[in-house]
Amino acid sequence: MKILITGSSGQLGQALQKALRHHELFAADRRELDIRNLDAARSLLDRFSADWIVNAAAYNFVDRAESEPEAAEAVNSSGAANLARAAAERKAALVHVSTDYVFDGLSARPYVESDEPHPLSVYGWSKLKGEREAAAGNPRHLIVRTAWLFSAAGHNFAKTILGLGLKGDVRVVSDQVGCPTYVPHLAEAIAGLMERGAQGLYHLAGSGQASWYEFARTLFEEMEIPSKVTPIASSDYPQAAKRPKFSVLASARQPEVRLPAWQEGVRAFARELQDRKERFQP
Ligand SMILES: NC(=O)c1ccc[n+]([C@@H]2O[C@H](COP(=O)([O-])OP(=O)(O)OC[C@H]3O[C@@H](n4cnc5c(N)ncnc54)[C@H](OP(=O)(O)O)[C@@H]3O)[C@@H](O)[C@H]2O)c1
């Protein structure tokens, strides 16, 4: 397959290049393709006639989005629309990635694909609109909702909290529960779905569930960091954007696609960091 990956220097963009390495790839970072520009997308597809576009580009600043909604929408909504359209014009399929933050967190059970989204934040709305643009703009779409990404590459909660833990004790929110997801596990699962031509909406996140506090404790244990982790309430850590209290994702799609348990992701992440220890700069 010929595959164009957008946002290729992000966490998922990098992992997808590894997971899809047996295919013919064009990895485009923001300089090579700004997804806000429809003509740029068209012209890149004229040069590289992809069968698939995988959109790993996104505006991910959840709190900043509250004060700059246009910036979030330009990438997460209009950008998705541009890629859906450019791909559809060339009969290519689109993989688009979305988030657990499309849900309000009021459910008493994990969210499946048929549950009604109701975002609490500008970021969540911009991602939900992006899903809708991707689906409306291209009949050949695969939309993957995921959550709480962490990997040795890029910026994420896991690396930030480890960096803080190396300096001293930390306080971490314990009343938001979700699915920590190790990015290489997600990339492998997306590659598997593409290779079997899957379409429609899928929830793909690390199996099990955890609060940010439990996630941090497990990271510290695995990395043998002795600092203390203290649980706090969201109200003790005010943030501009409201987050869902419970955004655990499950999938009702058949055949079932399950990612490894998030704790397995933490172990793989710790091994990856140890392998590149001299380069670990949280
Ligand atoms: N991170 C999470 O915890 C999380 C949770 C749920 C869902 N997701 C979703 O998962 C997907 C992958 O996330 P990630 O964590 O891999 O993101 P990431 O590491 O923040 O990478 C996003 C990439 O998109 C690029 N980008 C931003 N604006 C662009 C534009 N206009 N045109 C082209 N590229 C642009 C960024 O480039 P620059 O670095 O040059 O800005 C960056 O390389 C996203 O759809 C995200 O919304 C993420």
Q: Assess if residue 224 is contained within a domain.
A: no
Q: Assess if residue 16 is contained within a domain.
A: yes
Q: Assess if residue 64 is contained within a domain.
A: yes
> Which numbered atom of ligand 1 lies nearest the CA of 75?
31
Would strands 200-203 and 141-146 be described as parallel, antiparallel, or unpaired?
Answer: parallel
Encode pLDDT of 240-257 as tens digits: 999 999 999 999 999 889
> Any idea which of 83-92, 151-160, 268-277 has the lowest mean pLDDT?
268-277
Mutation probe of ligand 1 site: the residue of 18, 59, 60, 129 with most atoms within 8 A of C-beta: 60
Element (H, E) at 162: helix 157-167
Q: Confirm if 84 and 131 have CB atoms less than 8 A apart.
A: no
pLDDT category at 278 given cuts 50, 70, 90 is very low
Ligand 1 lined by 75 (C-beta under 6 Å): yes
Encode pLDDT of 150-172 as tens digits: 999 989 999 999 999 999 999 99
For 254, other C-beta atoms within 10 Å of its C-beta total 6
Q: Confirm if 262 and 182 have CB atoms less than 8 A apart.
A: yes
* 176/232 Cα distance (integer angstroms): 10
* 146/265 Cα distance (integer angstroms): 14
pLDDT at position 279 over 90: no
Encode pLDDT of 176-227 as tens digits: 999 999 999 999 999 999 999 999 999 999 999 999 999 999 999 999 999 9
We report the CATH number of the domain holding residue 115 as: 3.40.50.720
Find tokens 């309430």 and name the residue: 233
Ligand 1 lined by 10 (C-beta under 6 Å): yes
Encode pLDDT of 23-40 as tens digits: 999 999 999 999 999 999
Could you list the residue range(s) of the whole structural domain that residue 149 is in? 2-155+179-207+248-261
* 75/221 Cα distance (integer angstroms): 37
Q: Assess if residue 67 is contained within a domain.
A: yes
* 42/53 Cα distance (integer angstroms): 12
pLDDT at 282: 52
Q: Assess if residue 81 is contained within a domain.
A: yes
DSSP state string for 10-46: SHHHHHHHHHTTTSEEEEE-TTT--TT-HHHHHHHHH
* 61/170 Cα distance (integer angstroms): 22
* 223/29 Cα distance (integer angstroms): 31
Reference 119, options 75, 81, 157, 65; nearest CA is 65
pLDDT at position 280 over 90: no
Q: Assess if residue 109 is contained within a domain.
A: yes
Q: How many domains does the chain have?
A: 1
Ligand 1 lined by 205 (C-beta under 6 Å): no
Q: Assess if residue 269 is contained within a domain.
A: no
Q: Assess if residue 170 is contained within a domain.
A: no
Encode pLDDT of 96-153 as tens digits: 999 999 999 999 999 999 999 999 999 999 999 999 999 999 999 999 999 999 999 9
For residue 60, report the distance from its CA to the centre of ligand 1, in Å. 6
Question: 41 is written with which tokens?
Answer: 């997308």
Compute CA distances 93 → 88, 141, 251, whole Å: 7, 6, 22
Residue nearest to atom 40 of ligand 1 (CA): 30
